[in-house]
Amino acid sequence: MSRMAATRDGYGDALLALAGNPKVVVLEADLGKSTKSLHFRKAHPERTVSCGIGEQNMLLVGAGLASSGYIPFASTFAIFTERAFEQMRNGVARPNLAVHLCGSHGGTHTGTDGSSAQSIEDLAIYRTLPNVVVMHPCDDVSTKALTMQLPELGSPSYMRTARNKTPVLYDGRESEIKIGKGIVVKEGTDVAIIACGVLVHEAMVAAESLESQGVSTTVVDMHTLKPLDTELIDKLAKSCGAIVTAEDHSIIGGLGGAVAEHLITTNPIPMERIGVKDRFGESAGSDEMLEMMELKSQHISDAAKKAIARKV
């Protein structure tokens, strides 16, 4: 059994590890205990700004700090970042100020808090903003590794983390993780599953099942949705000839949308998308939610077979 951890813990660890850079500041909107910025706050209260329950203000305080040479990391729940979307658009992305926004508790995997807390559109909306890098890592190791790279990025970013624990994939493999580069976690030749976040693990389970049925399967962790690793996608389109995307996010506009938008211009091979089918969630356990939303490994393997069957 692999180690279990929540990606939000990787974010909290990274902030603390970045504290040696005196330009790093942390902004909170009363959810530091949840997003895990609290570790930084405890160690460096002088560089932590409480914005109260005011996300719109927080984003622009970050913009002001970034314009003055600081590197602000702002976090709240993914769903609450959305109420500051226009601040992110007009005050951060447009002037290209490197504010790093983290939305934790993303996706239906958030679970029993219910549909109001389950952001299923965050990746889609932030992906539409010029200059903004969008990430959704799958484990605490990659979350920490990606967050540690943000001070050098020089442009704004949005990262979704998850509330609940998932199996850890990258212990000891930090050096493989680079913003904008998808990771081939398993190689095969019949179909490629491109997943992000909590569904990377489900994709791995699906691949095991497919292999046992004689289907050679590639699994990619596409932790960065923007800029999208199109080179890798084109390579997979050629080597596998069929693609399945998998995300705990609306089927509209997220990873599936991004991959489809690219492939339609280069190599429109059969493709299936696993995602939340244009509906809201409800209160249930994480695994129950993935089952209810048809995001589990068996849904992914079924989609893989469907995509393969569509090959000419």
Partner 1 sequence: MNITELEEMARKCRVEICKMVHRAQAGHPGGSLSEIDILCALYGSRLRVQPDNPDWEDRDRFILSKGHASPGMYAVLAEMGFISHADLETYRVKGGVCQGHVDMKWCPGVDFSAGSLGMGLSYGMGCAIAAKLDGSSRNAYVMVGDGEIQEGSIWEAAMAAAHHELGNLKLFLDCNRIQNDDFCETQMRMFDIPAKWNSFGWAVKVIDGHNMSEIVSAIEWMDSITDKPAVVIANTVKGKGVSYMEDNPAFHGAAPSDEQLAIALSELGVNA
52 binds partner 1 (CB under 8 A): yes
Task: Report the chain's C-alpha Rg in angstroms.
Answer: 19
Q: In terms of CB distance, is 58 or 177 closer to partner 1? A: 58
State which of residues 17, 19, 44, 70 lies at the interface with partner 1 (CB under 8 A). Answer: 70
128 binds partner 1 (CB under 8 A): no
State which of residues 17, 82, 94, 167 lies at the interface with partner 1 (CB under 8 A). Answer: 94
Q: In terms of CB distance, is 24 or 168 closer to partner 1? A: 24
Task: Tell the smallest beta-carbon distance from residue 227 to partner 1 (Å).
Answer: 21
Task: Tell the smallest beta-carbon distance from residue 38 to partner 1 (Å).
Answer: 19
63 binds partner 1 (CB under 8 A): yes
Range in contact with partner 1 (rule: CB under 8 A) among 41-49, 152-160, 208-216, 296-304? 41-49
287 binds partner 1 (CB under 8 A): no
305 binds partner 1 (CB under 8 A): no
Task: Tell the smallest beta-carbon distance from residue 53 to partner 1 (Å).
Answer: 9
If phi over 0 gives left and psi between -120 and 50 gives alpha, with beta otherwise, what is residue 213? Answer: alpha
Burial of 89 (0-12, 13-18, 19+ CB in 10 A): middle
State which of residues 68, 189, 239, 298 lies at the interface with partner 1 (CB under 8 A). Answer: 68
47 binds partner 1 (CB under 8 A): yes
State which of residues 10, 12, 32, 91 lies at the interface with partner 1 (CB under 8 A). Answer: 91
- Separation CA 229–CA 145 (nearest Å): 18
Report the candidate in 239, 242, 247 with the shortest Cα–Cα distance to residue 221.
247
Q: In terms of CB distance, is 30 or 176 closer to partner 1? A: 30
The verdict on whether 55 is a catalytic residue reads: yes
Paired strand residues for 85: none
**Which residue among the candidates 28, 55, 202, 272 is catalytic per the annotation?**
55
- Separation CA 69–CA 97 (nearest Å): 10
AA identity, residue 52: G
Paired tokens of 124 = 């889609």
26 binds partner 1 (CB under 8 A): no
Task: Tell the smallest beta-carbon distance from residue 158 to partner 1 (Å).
Answer: 18
Task: Tell the smallest beta-carbon distance from residue 257 to partner 1 (Å).
Answer: 26
Residues engaged in binding partner 1 (CB under 8 A): 25, 46-47, 49-52, 54, 56-70, 72, 86-87, 90-91, 94-96
Catalytic residue ranges: 55
